[in-house]
Amino acid sequence: MGWSLIRGWTLLVYVFMFLPVAVVVLLSFNASQFGSFPMTGLSVRWFVELAQNDAILRAFRTSIILGLLTAVLSTILGVLASLALVRYRVPGSNLISTLLIAPILVPEVVLAVALLLFLNFLSINKSFMLLLFGHVIFTLPFVVLVVQARLIAIRRDIEEAAMSLGASPVQTFFEVTLPLMLPAVLAGALFAFTISFDDITGTLFWKPGGVETVPTQIFAMLRNSISPEINALGTVMILLTVGLPLLGLAIARQMSAKRGR
């Protein structure tokens, strides 16, 4: 009796969380002018219109470029920071570690305003570079956390064995350390990309005039009217931000299965 109650309640919670998402996906195929029930028929016309909407396409391109650059920069910086913190004795490594993780703990709005004020103080104008800089700051902790955890699990003697066999420290990194931590590095990069792609708070503060990312574009569109195009856009976003990590996970599994682990 008690268990079935808990089961039912859990189910309701999940329904509450995922039903809106399902509704968005469902309505994106609605033929009607109005993005609401009852549905008048199935159609992909909103996807077609989406593909012809220049503003949205521009926003999409911006988001993807921003996401990719964020992922690349965050991953490189995160891997280097993790290596330094785990493999070398850095003075004040605890403090550095905490500072690197801090952006997760500080509310994003505070971080966003702080960075903006700081750059105002330095009289630097808002630019795409600044936006990228902001995104790197708050995706970096995720990369560092994931990569650090993996790096700690890679035993030092494996690297020592490589060096004893004649590989220089750099060769050892590329031959042994990097391949072994690759799943974590890819996971970190994926995290950085999706977080950057999804972000709206920081982006609203930092983006220069005229530049829109997908989330800010949706936000702007919602202020005027609720167009069914937004449902279609939502569906595409869901596909990207959920599908991409799942795909990455599947590839990682495939890779390690081949190694017989």
Partner 1 sequence: MSSVTLTDIVKRFGSFTAVHKTSLEVPEGAFVTLLGPSGCGKTTTLRMVAGLLDPTEGEIQIKGRRVNDVPIHKRNLGIVFQNYALFPHKSIAENVAFGLKYRNVSKDDTKKRVSDALELVQLPDVGERYPKQLSGGQQQRIALARAIVIEPDVLLLDEPLSALDANLREDMRVELKRIQERIGVTTLFVTHDQSEALAMSDQIVVMSEGRVEQVGPPQEVYNTPASEFVANFLGASNIVPANCMGRDGNTFVFETETLGRIAVPADKAPKGAAAGPAKLVVRAEKLQLAPRDTPADGAVSVDAIVETVDYQGQAVRYFVRAGDRQLQAINMIDERPFAEGAQVSLRLRPRDCAVLPTI
Residues at the site binding partner 1, with contacts judged by CB under 8 A? 155, 157-158, 160-169, 171-172, 175-176, 179-180, 259-261
Least distance CB 171 / partner 1 (angstroms)? 8
DSSP 8-state symbol, 30: B
Rounded to whole angstroms, the Cα distance separating 187 from 74 reads: 12
Task: Report helix, strand or coil for 42.
Answer: strand
Nearer residue to partner 1 within complex by CB, 6 or 170: 170
Q: Which token pair is 95? A: 């403090």
Q: Quick one: angle between helices 128-153 and 54-87, nearest 10?
A: 40
CB of 179 to partner 1, least distance (A): 5
Residues 6+ apart with CB under 8 A from 50: 56, 229, 232, 233, 236
- Which residue lies nearer to partner 1 by CB, 167 or 204? 167
* CB of residue 246 to partner 1, shortest distance in Å: 23
CB of 96 to partner 1, least distance (A): 22
Radius of gyration of the chain (CA): 22
3-state secondary structure of 99: helix
**What angle, rounded to 10 degrees, do the helices at 214-224 and 228-258 form?**
160
Which residue number, 44 or 163, has a Cβ lying nearer to partner 1? 163
* Cis peptide bond upstream of 245, omega within 30: no
15/158 with CB nearer partner 1: 158
Give the shortest CB-90-to-partner 1 separation in angstroms.
18
Closest distance of CB 172 from partner 1, Å: 8
CA–CA gap between residue 26 and residue 64 (Å, rounded): 25
Give just the sign of the alpha carbon dihedral 33, 36, 37, 39. positive
- In the bound state with partner 1, the residue whose beta carbon lies nearer, of 36 and 256, is 256
Which of 54/157 has CB closer to partner 1? 157
DSSP string, 182-194: HHHHHHHHHHHHH
- DSSP code of residue 91: T
State in angstroms the smallest separation of the CB of 121 from partner 1.
Answer: 44
Q: Which is nearer to partner 1, 169 or 208 (CB)?
A: 169
